[in-house]
A and B are shown apart, each in its own frame.
Chain A
């Protein structure tokens, strides 16, 4: 029963989205829009670095599913192999064992089916905002130029960047650069979007704003997405499904469906169900941090300290 609401909602959104397309755009656009929803199955992925006695397991028996049109959030302690996982799924690195398939076909070389937005900004500094956003469709040459531009401007408007279309990345603020980069990836309608801590390094206020922008963008297209983060609030706020990763070697410890209605709004951050999810996630992360601390991981000590503080806070809030 609980799952039903979570599934119906995206379908509804999708239908509306298609209707809008039929009114405005060409047949080609519908085809490309359909691409924006693949299903990715990751099965017992393993990856090691080094050899002999220096062999280190980064990923071990890592399995999960990215459901079509769902926003899956991956959270785990620092250094648990999240970035390695993204690199493998994108095709920049190869796994030692296990498989990752997208709509039944194993993933290979990087291509536009699996678009990555990295932690660090990778907007081309020599192109304007509009130039960057339209880069993908322009090199893929599957759509007429004016149509690409119209779509790009529409998306830029959605994230409040339409005035900055002719500015170069160096002239944009950090938050604007991130938004432009999200749009640059999204416009290609990839079957899977892979986001590797896209809002890392932004200050807390900008980050919140970015999350709201992101919710709007995601709702617009409902592309299958894997979103990696180390922020628990961000994770629950955005997730359809929350994956909790173990401390190295990385593996999925638990998959928690987050059954809160879309669109997500900031006031949900104080709801009872939200706090329940948070407590569950934090407890799982806490276990991992304890293990990491036992293995002499200094970063884990910070988490443990922060955990104690949040714990008391959330308990008093739920009363």
Chain B
């Protein structure tokens, strides 16, 4: 009756640590170039830019003649002496990015710092949810742009209203997803925790928080997306710097290629932030991954 490990099949996951992790990464990287997806994706981008060039640069169709064509945009973007003052060599360009990024960081951290605990608490204590959920559901559908006048009236200066607007959208998304996260935790974990002798604080820190983590990170990603959205809107209305301001300013000053540069920059920056959140999430939630790498 001795235990024989061979008699029960087990996934081969005996940890051979770091070196395996590295070779797995290299394998993934090499496979990326073998897969069709990469080339199809590249082809899609090329086709998109090609069509854009065709419409604006070659055919110049009626409603497209005013739009900047990709060649003009790229020339401006890479020029050492840009006509409209915005290129990778212009310090001004980075200043705009930094302003937007700084505002996003402030708004996003505020939303996370307030939204996650509120959401956790709503999911954990029914009474608290009963008080707060109706207000939340009433405020949440109001478009952020409708808050602009109140934001300006409520907050002093130029920065505070902008950050408030970016914060607001992110805040609601974070609360709601955190709440859903707590409610998604299977009842059996609470039962197990209780009979193993947990006090309420143990249940909160060792069951509620880790159990809600996957949803919280989904919420943070959505929150980051909507924060960008409302930030740009707010910067267009008031602001001296920032990518949203840059878009609107270039429109007013008829510097059309700069609009495209600012738009692409927003896309790339937003993507990088999303990636960062995903990486932090994956590092915190290794327990959701079947294979140890």
On A, residues with C-beta under 8 Å from B are: 90-92, 109-112, 114-116, 118, 120, 122, 124-127, 135-136, 139-140, 159-160, 163-164, 166-173, 175-176, 184-185, 188, 206, 209, 212-213, 216, 263, 265-266
Contact = CB atoms under 8 A, between A and B. Distances in A.
B207 A170 contact: no
A168 B287 contact: yes
Size class of the B contact interface (CB-based, 8 Å): 35 or more
B100 to A, nearest CB: 35
B11 A212 contact: no
Centre residue among B8, B199, B213 by max chain A CB count within 10 A: B8
B188 A122 contact: yes
Centre residue among A92, A118, A122, A209 by max chain B CB count within 10 A: A122
Contact of B197 (A91, A127, A139, A160): A139
Contact of B189 (A122, A209, A266): A122
A218 B195 CA distance: 20
A42 to B, nearest CB: 18
Contact of A126 (B9, B14, B188, B211): B211
13 contacts: A110-B194, A116-B192, A122-B191, A124-B193, A135-B196, A169-B287, A173-B9, A175-B8, A176-B10, A184-B196, A188-B196, A263-B1, A265-B1
A110 B199 CA distance: 11
Given A110-B194, A112-B196, A122-B188, A166 B211 contact: no
Interface of B: 1, 3, 5, 7-11, 13-15, 186, 188-189, 191-199, 202, 206-207, 210-211, 213, 285-292
Contacts of A91: 195
Given A160-B3, A175-B8, A124 B195 contact: no
Contacts of B285: 126
A318 to B, nearest CB: 25
A171 B11 contact: yes
A114 B288 CA distance: 30
Given A111-B195, A112-B197, A124-B206, A118 B290 contact: no
A272 B262 CA distance: 86
B60 to A, nearest CB: 57
Contacts of B188: 118, 120, 122
A175 to B, nearest CB: 6
A263 B2 CA distance: 13
Contacts of A127: 206, 287
Centre residue among B206, B213, B285 by max chain A CB count within 10 A: B206
Contacts of A164: 10, 13
A272 to B, nearest CB: 22
Centre residue among B10, B186, B197, B207 by max chain A CB count within 10 A: B197
Centre residue among A126, A168, A169, A184 by max chain B CB count within 10 A: A126
B181 to A, nearest CB: 12
Contacts of A185: 196
A170 B196 contact: no
Nearest to A170: B290
Nearest to B186: A122
A118 B194 CA distance: 13
Contacts of B8: 173, 175-176, 206, 209
Contact of A160 (B5, B14, B286, B291): B5
A139 B289 CA distance: 26
